Amino acid sequence: MTRAPFRPLRFGITRVTLREGAPGVRYVQADAALTAYPSRITDRFAHWANTTPDRPFLARRMRLEGGGTGDWQILSFGQAWAHARSIAQALIDRGLSVERPVVILSENSLEHALMSLGCVLAGVPFAPVSPAYSLVSRDFEKLRHVLAVTTPGLVFASDDRYADAIAATVGLDVEVVMGEGLPGGVGRAASDVGAPPVRIARPVTSLAALLKTTATSAVDRAIAATGPDTIVKFLFTSGSTKLPKAVINTQRMWCANQQQMAMSMPVLAEAPPVLVDWLPWNHTFGGNHNFGMVLFHGGTLYIDDGKPTPALMPETLRNLREVSPTVYFNVPTGFEAIARAMQTDDVLRRSLLSRVRMFFYSGAALAQPIWDSLWDSQEREIGERIVMGTGLGMTESAPFAVFITNPEVRAGDIGVPAAGLELKLVDIDGKTEVRYRGPNITPGYWRAPGQTAESFDEEGFFRTGDAVLWINPDNPHLGLRFDGRIAEDFKLATGTFVSVGPLRARIIAAGAPHVQDAVITGLNQNEVGALIFAAPTVRALAGLAPDASLAEVLAAAPVRAHFQTVLDTLAGSATGSASRVARLALLAEPPSLDLGEVTDKGSINQRAVLRHRSALVDALHEGSLPGLFLPR
């Protein structure tokens, strides 16, 4: 089948320099040098506030009293600058610092953005925390850990939903600022004498009080005192451990990374980008990559209160029908839902595709059926295809590190390094680890010298733990492919290595659209197995009543028939024991946030699932697990 051409998109970095090192070591760099970038992100904020004060910067739908959302509330660059200066003055008055920073408990919101920007102007680091640590977790263990590591002088919470978490974890010596509402209970608000009782016996300041602070020349002095080494924020990442690590993010990291992005993706500088985005700011993809992109290039960010879940995806689709982005970012599950909706939703197709120059996915593999469905809708609506960009990055790289070089992308392709970033490819046990060195790499983990030292090799390269392969070993300019996480790979009892990443991607593709994720088993066993977290689409496949339990859904005949076919297909297409899935089980118990099995963004931690479900894994390989699938 002949596909339509791609909508024109220029790629900035398309050639690399490759040199050999010690045996089993190679170094890769972009041919182009990294061009000049500002010493602080504040300079870009000030530029847009001064030159385009009325341009929309941030927008979010207003909350309605009875639930739901209304019209867009828009904040211009000039308004945001003035509000951020007031907050900065309030933070300076309180003597906050890197030793007593600000912790933010909030989903994406205008108030969250203003508090963050106020911190940036004041030179006070902030730590945006996953809302799930407060709103989903039952023991608040991760939130306690975050507070212990950062020792904040002020905690900002968006609203009273965070009251229980604050009461359980935040010391009375730490000031609490509330964005809207006040937690109900036994104290009273410090800044509002007529406020209703609050649940925690402590003074609570309203954000409105901070916004009333008159900014002085102290704010200008604070801005001038910041520089490339100033810590902007701490982003927490769990990695393969249970407790999250505080990744230091400096002004240099953020600014260099935005310049690297602009060089790899020239479309960002061609016109101020317009984003419709849900990706959480406590993660580097949403908080550094996307929020930073809009701030750096003077664009507009429409905060999407939707998410790629059955309950919240309709809000995302509603927003995309009203606002046409110029670039669009999502995770594979989000693109899957959009692809499905575009098949029948003419308004969505027309709005989303009218001016978008590039799609971009990250976080997991995008199954080929999703690509095909997106392309079908694009060809039908506009007669051309939209480039699906992707790459490789991590919290420790700010996050942009590697990006594709051309529109002909296959699932797993990641491309070449950004300008100014040097890759070190190191052969380890039959795999090739990629390591990073450059201005966008973190100096380490806050108050964790041991973990920091372990993360860098003898040449100062950050050990990513990501494995890669050449797309074409004879043409390095095409770049690299992702080959899984080295720490997730294991050996069968026969000594055969199992490469988890590619196998997981095969399972997700074979089971599409009914596989949310797959956990690979088989360490020291004779065969490979798989534990499947089914996608919400299995409910429709099962054909049961809406109130049927997940266990009942997974036991339904149509669901079992589908996964039996998936397993038979996988087993039949295997090329050896390391790629042959010999047993499979469907998990009725969802992944646990408190146990570290899943992040609030939906990413599965393979090692945590295997550790906490070891009895189930044993039963899977012993053949005693009820509902076990075996190849026919």
- Tens-digit pLDDT profile for residues 524-565: 888 999 999 999 999 999 999 999 999 999 999 999 999 999
Enumerate the H helices of 383-456 as residue ranges. 449-455
Instruction: Provide the β-strand partners of residue 532.
Output: 518, 586
Could you name the CATH architecture of 16-34+253-276+307-479? 3-Layer(aba) Sandwich (3.40)
Flag whether pLDDT at 185 surpasses 50.
no
Enumerate the H helices of 439-492 as residue ranges. 449-455
**492 near 526, Cβ under 8 Å?**
yes
Flag whether pLDDT at 220 surpasses 60.
yes
Take residue 523 and report the two structure tokens written for it: 């360490």
Flag whether pLDDT at 387 surpasses 50.
yes
Task: Please state, in angstroms and rounded to a whole number, the distance separating the CA atoms of residues 284 and 288.
Answer: 5
Q: Which of 515, 458, 523 is nearest to 493 (CA)?
A: 523
Task: Please state, in angstroms and rounded to a whole number, the distance separating the CA atoms of residues 84 and 217.
Answer: 14
Flag whether pLDDT at 12 surpasses 50.
yes
Kindly list the distances between the CA atom of residue 265 and the CA atoms of 293, 360, 390, in Å, as whole numbers in the listed order: 11, 11, 11
Token pair 């090329």: residue? 575
pLDDT band at 193 (very low <50, low <70, confident <90, very high): very low
Task: Please state, in angstroms and rounded to a whole number, the distance separating the CA atoms of residues 212 and 208.
Answer: 6
Q: Which of 474, 516, 156, 511 is nearest to 369 (CA)?
A: 511
Q: What mean pLDDT, rounded, does the chain reach?
A: 93
For residue range 94-121, list pLDDT tens digits in order.
999 999 999 999 999 999 999 999 999 9
Flag whether pLDDT at 183 surpasses 50.
no
Flag whether pLDDT at 203 surpasses 90.
no
Which option is the CATH number for 42-64+71-224: 2.30.30.30, 3.30.1490.20, 3.40.50.12780, 3.40.30.10?
Answer: 3.40.50.12780
pLDDT band at 601 (very low <50, low <70, confident <90, very high): low
- Is the sign of the CA dihedral 427, 432, 438, 443 positive or negative? negative
| 16-34+253-276+307-479 and 42-64+71-224: identical CATH topology | yes
The residue type at 7: R
pLDDT band at 485 (very low <50, low <70, confident <90, very high): confident
Take residue 594 and report the two structure tokens written for it: 């408190």
For residue range 222-253, list pLDDT tens digits in order.
999 999 999 999 999 865 456 899 999 999 99
For residue range 259-273, list pLDDT tens digits in order.
999 999 999 999 999
Q: Which of 83, 52, 118 is nearest to 294 (CA)?
A: 52
Q: Which of 55, 62, 121, 53 is nearest to 87 (CA)?
A: 121
Comparing 160-169, 325-334, 488-497, 610-619, which segment has the lowest mean pLDDT? Answer: 488-497
Task: Please state, in angstroms and rounded to a whole number, the distance separating the CA atoms of residues 153 and 507.
Answer: 47
pLDDT band at 495 (very low <50, low <70, confident <90, very high): confident
**pLDDT at position 287:** 98
- For the chain, the domains span 16-34+253-276+307-479, 42-64+71-224, 489-622
Q: Chain centroid to CA 581: how far?
A: 29
Token pair 């730590």: residue? 127
Q: What pTM did the predictor assign?
A: 0.87
For residues 179-189, average pLDDT:
43
Could you name the CATH architecture of 489-622? 2-Layer Sandwich (3.30)
What does the DSSP assignment read for 79-117?
HHHHHHHHHHHHHHHTT--SSS-EEEE--S-HHHHHHHH
